Amino acid sequence: MNKQRRLLGALLAAVLCLTGCVGTRTADVHDAEAINTTCPRSGKPVSADSLTTYRGYTVGFCNTHCRDDFAAHVDERPKDRAFFDDWIARSASR
C-alpha cells in the first residue's frame, strides 16, 4: 500500500509539474527572485537553487529537498501554503 501511495504521489507531482500548477521548473524560475526571503520550514535564507512556483509566484526554500517535497506534496503541506499565501497577499498589496 505504501509503495502505491509513493507511486501515486510521484505521478501526481509529475502531472502538476507538466501542467504548470506547482513544480520544480528551474528553467522558469532560474532568473526569478522568490517572493519570500526565508524558508518556511527552517527560517534560513532562501537558496537560489531551491526555487519553485506556487500559484504563479516564484517561492523559495533553503534546500532542494524541501523544495522537491513541497512540489510533490503541495496539498499535504498546509503550513507551507499558508506561509506563501501570506507572502502573496503582502506582495499583492504593494
Give CA–CA dist 94/33, Å, rounded. Answer: 16
Tens digits of pLDDT across the chain (94 residues): 656 555 545 544 554 444 444 444 444 555 689 999 999 999 999 999 999 999 999 999 999 999 999 999 999 999 999 999 999 998 888 7
Strand positions, DSSP E, the chain? 22-23, 51-54, 57-60
Query: Grid coordinates standing for 90?
Result: 503582502
Task: Report yes or no on whether pTM surpasses 0.75.
Answer: no
